[in-house]
Amino acid sequence: MKTEKQSRSRVATDESHLCQFPFADGRQCRMFRHASHETLCLFHIQQEQQLLALDRIGDELASLSGEFTTVSDVNHVIGRLFKLVASNRIPRRNAELLAYLAQLLLYSQKDVKQEQTIARGYFNWESSLREIYVNAGLAQPQASPSAGSPPIEQK
């Protein structure tokens, strides 16, 4: 004989009050939706905010030219990294890895410059640098590079 507790049917919870986060295997989160979000529970809201924060941090760490081909590119990123670490927006371990990678990029800059000046010529290298600085708002555009000026020796 069934007890009263066993015979009672479970009342289905209104789906609109549940988190709508889908898992990879097709299941859906069954936690209650948080009042501050239209579709997610508190746990999935926090995950969403972390992902959005990572996107913003990635944008902040972008180099001037997007290619890390100049010392200024790498220096710009190191400066941004310093600010992110100082404001505790990225973990120390990640910052250490990024700083090490920046060190490797800086170490290779001399070879990148040499390779590009051999392949494209010094004045094309100089023109590329000027364009990066102008696009970053760090220099004023010039009408044309002075063809008569000798290349600046870098030691």
Six token digits for residue 80: 């941004």
Residues 132 and 79 in one domain: yes
Beta bridge partners, 18, equal: 32
The per-residue pLDDT for 149 is 52
152 or 120: which carries more pLDDT confidence? 120
pTM: 0.52
Same domain flag for 88 and 26:
no
Residues 92 and 121 in one domain: yes
Our count of domains for the chain comes to: 2
Contacts of 18 (CB under 8 A, 6+ apart): 28, 29, 30, 31, 32, 33
The pLDDT tens digits for 45-92 are 888 887 787 777 777 777 666 777 778 788 888 888 888 888 888 888
Q: 77 and 129: one domain?
A: yes
Shared-domain flag, residues 37 and 100: no
